[in-house]
Amino acid sequence: MDLISFRDLSKEDVEDYFARAEEMDRQLEAGNVEKLDGIVATMFFEPSTRTKLSFQSAAERLGLQIVDFVGSSSSLKKGESFEDTIRTVDGYADIIVIRHPLEGSARVASEFAEAPIANGGDGGNQHPSQTLLDLYTLKKMKGDIGALNVHLVGDLKHARTMRSLLYGLGMFGAKVKLVAPSGLEMARDAIADVKRKFEMEVEETETIDFKDADVVYVCRIQEERFEDKYEAMSVKKKFTIKPEYLQGVKEDMIILHPLPKIDEIPPEVDKSKYAKYFEQAKNGIPMRMGIMKKMLGSARQKKG
C-alpha cells in the first residue's frame, strides 16, 4: 500500500485517511495509543525537519522502531546505485519513508521494494502526506472543505505542495483564488486539469486581498529562481504577508503554511489569531500515524 502521489487517491481514500487520523487524535488525547510491531526506515536524501521528524515521532508513538538512513555516510558514496540501496533497505524495514530531489524517485523506489513506500517529497513533484495533513487541518479547523474560499499565495509555479493541494481542494469542491506574481503562476495544465475533473471555480490574480478568504495558504517566493535579484527582492516585498493585509478580513480566517517560512510572514503575523501553521504542522503526527498503520495492515494482509 504505497503512498506515492496524491493523484493516486480517490475522495473515498482521502476520507478514509481523515477517519484514521481522527482515531489517532482520539488515542493520543486519551493517552492510550494502540501499539504496533514493525520497523520504519527513513531515507532522506534532502534536508527535512517537519516531514522526517513527524514520521519518526508518529512511528515512535505507534511503538514502531526506526532505522535512519543517512546518504552522506552510506554506500552511495562508493557508487552504489539508488536501486540497490532501495533493495537493501527493503530487507531491513516494514515501511520505507523516502525524500529525494529527483522527481519520480519515490515511484522508482516502489518498483524495487516490497515494503510500502511513503513519498516524503520527490523534487518539485509530489508530497502526498503533506496534502493529506493540509486537508485534514482544514476539515479539523473549518469543517466542510467544500464550503471554503481558499487563497493559495506565493510561488505557485515551483512549490510542490500547491499543485497537489489545488487538486485536493478541487476534489472536495472548494473555491480557490490563486495569488502569484507574474512568471510564478500555477502551471496551466494543473488548472485545466482540476477545472475539467472537478468543474472547479478558480480565480487568478496578482493582487493580495484577503477580505473574502476563509483560508490563506502561503508559500515562500523562491528567490533562487530569479536571475535578477532586484526583481526578486521587489516581488518578495510585495508578497510578504504584512499585518495591514489582515485588516477587514473574516474573524475566523486562518493562515496556513507548509513551512519552513523565511521572511514571507513577519513575527507580528505569527502572533495574530489567524496564524495556524504550527498547529497545521502538528497535525502531521496523527495523519502520518494513520498512514503507517494503514500501510502495515495492508502489507500484512497481502502477505497473509
Is the torsion defined by CA of 11, 145, 56, 218 positive or negative? positive
- Please, what is the angle between helix 284-303 and helix 50-61, to 10°? 60
Tell the residue number behind the cell numbers 523562491, with chain if given: 222
- Cβ–Cβ under 8 Å, residues 215 and 192: no
| E-state strands within the chain | 39-44, 65-70, 95-100, 117-122, 149-153, 175-179, 202-205, 215-218, 254-256
- Cβ–Cβ under 8 Å, residues 266 and 240: yes
Say if residue 266 is preceded by a cis peptide, omega within 30 of 0: no
List, by residue number, the catalytic residues.
Answer: 50-51, 78, 99, 127
Task: With H, G, I as helix, E, B as strand and everything else as coil, classify residue 273.
Answer: coil
Quick one: cell of 93? 524495514
Using CA atoms, how far apart are residues 186 and 222, in angstroms rounded to an integer?
14
The closest of 49, 43, 41, 153 to 101, measured between CA atoms, is 43
Classify strands 117-122 and 149-153 as parallel, antiparallel or unpaired.
unpaired
Using CA atoms, how far apart are residues 170 and 178, in angstroms rounded to an integer?
13
Quote the Cα angle for 69-71-74, to 5°: 85
| Residues 6 or more apart whose Cβ sits within 8 Å of residue 120 | 42, 44, 48, 51, 52, 55, 97, 98, 99, 106, 127, 129
